[in-house]
Homo-oligomer: A and B are copies of this chain.
Amino acid sequence: MVTIKDIAKRAGISITTVSRALNNYDDVNEATRERIFNIAKEIGYIPNRAAQSLVMKKSNRLGIILTELERNGGKDNIVYRLLSGMYSYAETVNYEVALYTSSSAHQREKSFVQFCNEHNIGGAVVAGIRTDDPYVKELLNSELPCVLIDLEKEGRNISSVSIDNKQAAKEATIYLIDHNHKHIGMINGRKAAAVSIERYKGYKEALDDKGIVLPENYVVYADFMEDMAYDMAKELLGRHPEITALFCASDLMALSAMKAIKDMNLSIPEDISIIGFDNIPLSEYSTPALTTVNQDFYLMGEAAAIQLLKMMQNEVAKKHIYLEHKILARDSVRMI
């Protein structure tokens, strides 16, 4: 293993100077610096990150904390895209990305804070985790800078990134209304989830604005689960045969609902129009192609990483970053 000591020996100077030269301090003679760089290259010097991080008490590492890396999950590609976006930015600034999942946390009784400390992680992006998780609470109360994806939460070292979920839901609902739908049901996610609350608000506001009274039980909660969405769709449509359109809080649920609708011998969009949320790859390949609200999760991951780094460097950073969304008109909604 080549160390700065080897370079120093070779150059006939002290390791201090080598260190300074390599780190681009400006109190090093230009000629000396050049010589050091040449030697470093020649003998194949590679900085030892562990040593650096030990002495500097920080490491160039971002954490990303997820619910889990599921075996059969990930169908929606969201985590992957988030991760890609984070990684792509992290790499440009020479940072590493370390993964941690909440399932493993509970399994081994190690909190996120412990994990981050142990692994010298200077800040974390948190995605897809319920804020009522005690470990998450601990994390948010800690000194560690955190960027939350899709959930807003107050705190000194906390900021968040998401689209304007309420506005997006409102636009989706208006899209349906503009296609002359009057009876619009909603398949929402989890009652306690921030995104679900926001999306409900947007849906409601759109109806209110257009003077449509929302009947009771037009909104069902399927926990973002496919199976449940299937059942709920059947149940909702069975209960309210006047419904002509469905707004779903995720594409995965929308896809299940579409399946349910087909199994009820109804067709899309002839009998029931449907609009999803997220724009996952599957939605483009379904038949009919699903009209949905696009979220750019790659950009979201990137934005989260940028934000996190700012916080870690004590720059003033916005508390909340809103990303663009867009209605993607495909074939699952028809004009009445």
Q: Which of B49, B50, B72, B99 contacts A97 (CB 8 A)?
A: B99
Contact of A70 with B84 at beta-carbon distance under 8 Å, contacts A49-B119, A255-B285 already known? yes
Q: Chain B: which residue is nearest A105 at the CB level?
A: B91
Give, as a whole number of angstroms, the nearest-CB distance from A122 to chain B.
12
B-contact bits for A56-96, CB 8 A (1 contact / 0 none): 01010000000001111011010111011101100100001
Q: Which B residue's beta carbon lies closest to that of A288?
A: B287
Query: With A54-B54, A96-B98, A120-B49 known to touch, is A74 a contact of B81 (CB < 8 Å)?
Result: yes
A window 39-62: CB within 8 A of B: 46-51, 53-54, 57, 59
- Closest approach, in angstroms, between the C-beta of A3 and any C-beta of chain B? 12
Q: How far is the CA of A71 from the CA of B296 in the complex (A)?
A: 10
Chain B: CB-nearest residue to A71: B298
- Asked if A317 is at the interface of the complex by the 8 Å CB criterion, the answer is no
Contact B104 A119 (CB under 8 A): no
A27 within 8 A of B: no
User: In the bound complex, do residue B87 and residue A69 qualify as a contact, i.e. CB atoms below 8 Å apart?
Assistant: yes
Return chain B residues, CB-CB under 8 Å to A282: 281-282, 285
Q: How far is the CA of A46 from the CA of B69 in the complex (A)?
A: 25
Set of chain B residues within 8 Å of A59, measured between Cβ atoms:
50
Contact partner of A83 (CB less than 8 A), chosen from B69, B77, B119, is B69
Chain B residues within an 8 Å CB radius of A80: 69, 74, 77, 79-80
Q: By the criterion of a CB under 8 Å from any partner CB, how many residues of chain A are at the interface?
A: 45
B77–A84 touching, CB < 8 Å: no
Given contacts A69-B84, A118-B48, contact A75 B298 (CB under 8 A): no
Cβ-based interface call for A14 (8 A): no
Instruction: Flag whether A117 is at the interface (Cβ < 8 A).
Output: yes
A286 at the B interface (CB under 8 A): yes
Contact B75 A87 (CB under 8 A): no
Residue of B nearest to A52 (CB): B50
**A38 at the A/B interface (Cβ < 8 Å)?**
no
A29 is an interface residue with CB less than 8 A from chain B: no
Q: How far is the CA of A87 from the CA of B104 in the complex (A)?
A: 10
With a CB–CB cut-off of 8 A, which chain B residues contact A180?
none
For A32, what are the chain B residues with a Cβ–Cβ distance below 8 Å? none
Q: Are B84 and A47 in contact (CB under 8 A)?
A: no
CB atoms of B114 and A88 under 8 A apart = no
Q: Which residue of B lies closest to A81 (CB)?
A: B74
Cα distance, A80 to B84, chains bound together (Å): 10
Question: Bound state CA distance, A282 and B79, in angstroms?
Answer: 17
- 10 examples of A-B residue contacts, CB within 8 angstroms: A46-B114, A46-B117, A48-B120, A50-B54, A69-B87, A71-B298, A74-B81, A77-B80, A282-B282, A287-B287
Starting from the known contacts A48-B120, A77-B77, A285-B285, 7 additional A-B residue pairs (CB-CB under 8 Å) come to: A1-B57, A46-B114, A69-B83, A69-B84, A255-B285, A285-B286, A286-B287
